[in-house]
């Protein structure tokens, strides 16, 4: 069992917590490291409710070399999944140094520690933001990346570059960067899910918060784009499917014998407009949504969705959940949050 231990940095966060479940279900032993800068300890309780036991968790900062070395000294890791990062695009334009320090700093300290303890396999959270507005859709991994629209997006581009350079220099080291499209949904039990701080910047948490009455109405950012109904198109992927892609990536890395670096899109391969998502939500929740159309939001990409051929064929992974499944689970999770808020 010891050889199948996986360190999950940022494991108390939205995607990390779901990945911890997927890891256990595939016979790995996840160990969470999180400083709870953007998550709550209640996530660990949710994990326990799902798994019927605790997951080992270290509380601390991934930029703290002494702490990281202590964690590696106490465990024999087969690999690491590195989620720990700040992710608020808007805040990153106001506080770029905070984003570079955390997102790049943590990756550097992690790689140094992995090198020191000879841990070879790393899965890195990248993002479709590295493509900007792609010239050709669906977007392929080989599509040239565009200039980042935000310091946050740039930390993902730089992260990919650091990994490529590191792997070239280090015989036997292996990494996969997963470029996530738009994660939504929650564990079907509603024991864990996304905890957006403040006003959500993403569509689905805004929809569910509006439906539950936390927000008065949803404003669509523009309906004059060149899409079927004028609203922006994204590739929405259920977080359970995304979690599973990390298991597949890790298993693939562990089979490699030489140094290895590759990039994979993780999406469904389908695009949906904002209006399609709203209508699908109204259908699964049985509730009409209060929304209005506002002006375009600067920096928004008009349309993007993934070509998933590479991850389908190389990693044997394919999204299983539909948009309706994802929205149903997001809605269940929001209702559960609301129940616990009312009970407090």
Ligand X SMILES: NC(=O)c1ccc[n+]([C@@H]2O[C@H](COP(=O)([O-])OP(=O)(O)OC[C@H]3O[C@@H](n4cnc5c(N)ncnc54)[C@H](O)[C@@H]3O)[C@@H](O)[C@H]2O)c1
Residue of the chain from 46, 71, 78, 87 that contacts ligand X (CB under 6 A): 87
Residue of the chain from 75, 102, 265, 270 that contacts ligand X (CB under 6 A): 102
Task: Report if residue 106 touches ligand X, rule: CB under 6 A.
Answer: yes
Task: Report if residue 148 touches ligand X, rule: CB under 6 A.
Answer: no
The Cα 82–Cα 62 span in angstroms is 10
Cβ neighbours around 171 below 10 Å, total = 9
The alpha carbon torsion through 95, 101, 106, 107 (nearest 10 deg) reads 100
> Shortest distance, CB of residue 13 to ligand X, whole angstroms?
2
Task: Report if residue 187 touches ligand X, rule: CB under 6 A.
Answer: no
Burial (CB < 10 A; 0-12, 13-18, 19+), residue 191, is buried
Total of residues contacting ligand X (CB under 6 A): 26
What is the pattern of x (binds ligand X, CB under 6 A) and - over residues 216-255? ----------------------------------------
Stretch that binds ligand X, among 8-16, 211-219, 258-266, 319-327 (CB under 6 A): 8-16
Cα 140 versus chain centre, distance: 19
Check if the beta carbon of residue 243 is closer than 8 Å to that of residue 18: yes
- 152 catalytic? Reply is yes
The alpha carbon torsion through 164, 121, 149, 205 (nearest 10 deg) reads 170
Active-site residue, selected from the candidate residues 58, 99, 131, 152 = 152
Q: By C-alpha distance, which of 106, 107, 102 is closest to 92?
A: 102
Residue of the chain from 5, 8, 14, 75 that contacts ligand X (CB under 6 A): 14
Task: Report if residue 267 touches ligand X, rule: CB under 6 A.
Answer: no
Task: Report if residue 10 touches ligand X, rule: CB under 6 A.
Answer: yes
Task: Report if residue 81 touches ligand X, rule: CB under 6 A.
Answer: no
Per CB under 6 A, which of residues 109..138 are in contact with ligand X? 125, 127
Residue of the chain from 16, 30, 134, 271 that contacts ligand X (CB under 6 A): 16
Residue of the chain from 61, 92, 113, 285 that contacts ligand X (CB under 6 A): 61
Task: Report if residue 85 touches ligand X, rule: CB under 6 A.
Answer: yes
Q: Which helix (H) or strand (E) segment is 287 a member of?
A: none
- Which distant-in-sequence residues (6+ apart) come within 8 Å of 41 by Cβ? 12
Dihedral (CA of 138, 132, 243, 220) sign: negative
For the chain, first and last CA: distance in Å? 40
Kindly state the tokens that stand for 221. 């950012």
> Shortest distance, CB of residue 7 to ligand X, whole angstroms?
11
User: What residues are labeled active site?
Assistant: 152
> Residue numbers of the site for ligand X (CB under 6 A)?
9-10, 12-16, 34-39, 61-63, 83-85, 87, 102, 106, 125, 127, 180, 183
């Amino acid at each position: 069992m010891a050889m199948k231990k996986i360190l999950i940095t940022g494991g108390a966060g939205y995607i990390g917590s779901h990945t911890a479940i997927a890891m256990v279900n595939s016979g790995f032993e996840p160990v969470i490291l999180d400083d709870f800068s953007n998550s709550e300890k209640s996530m660990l309780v949710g994990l326990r409710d799902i798994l019927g036991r605790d997951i080992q968790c270290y509380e601390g900062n991934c930029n703290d070399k002494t702490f990281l070395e202590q964690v590696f000294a106490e465990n024999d890791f087969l690999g690491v999944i590195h989620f720990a990062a700040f992710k608020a695009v808007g805040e990153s334009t106001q506080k770029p140094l905070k984003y570079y320090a955390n997102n790049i700093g943590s990756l550097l300290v992690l790689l140094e520690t992995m090198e020191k303890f000879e841990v070879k396999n790393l899965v890195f959270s990248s993002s479709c933001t590295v493509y900007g507005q792609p010239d050709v859709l669906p977007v392929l991994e080989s599509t040239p990346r565009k200039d980042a629209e935000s310091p946050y997006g740039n930390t993902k581009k730089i992260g990919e570059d650091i990994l490529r350079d590191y792997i070239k220099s280090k015989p036997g080291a292996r990494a996969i960067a997963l470029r996530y499209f738009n994660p939504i949904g929650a564990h079907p039990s509603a024991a864990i899910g996304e905890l957006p701080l403040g006003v959500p910047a993403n569509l689905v948490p805004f929809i569910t918060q509006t439906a539950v009455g936390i927000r008065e109405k949803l404003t669509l950012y523009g309906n004059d784009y060149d899409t079927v109904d004028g609203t922006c198109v994204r590739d929405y992927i259920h977080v359970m499917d995304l979690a599973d892609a990390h298991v597949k990536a890790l298993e693939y890395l562990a089979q490699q014998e030489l140094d290895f670096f590759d990039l994979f899109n993780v999406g469904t391969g389908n695009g949906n407009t904002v209006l399609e998502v709203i209508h699908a939500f109204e259908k699964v929740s049985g509730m009409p949504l209060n929304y209005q159309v506002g002006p375009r939001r600067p920096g928004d990409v008009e349309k993007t969705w993934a070509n998933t051929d590479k991850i389908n064929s190389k990693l044997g992974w394919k999204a299983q959940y539909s948009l309706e499944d994802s929205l149903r689970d997001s809605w269940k999770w929001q209702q559960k949050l609301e129940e616990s808020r009312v009970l407090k």
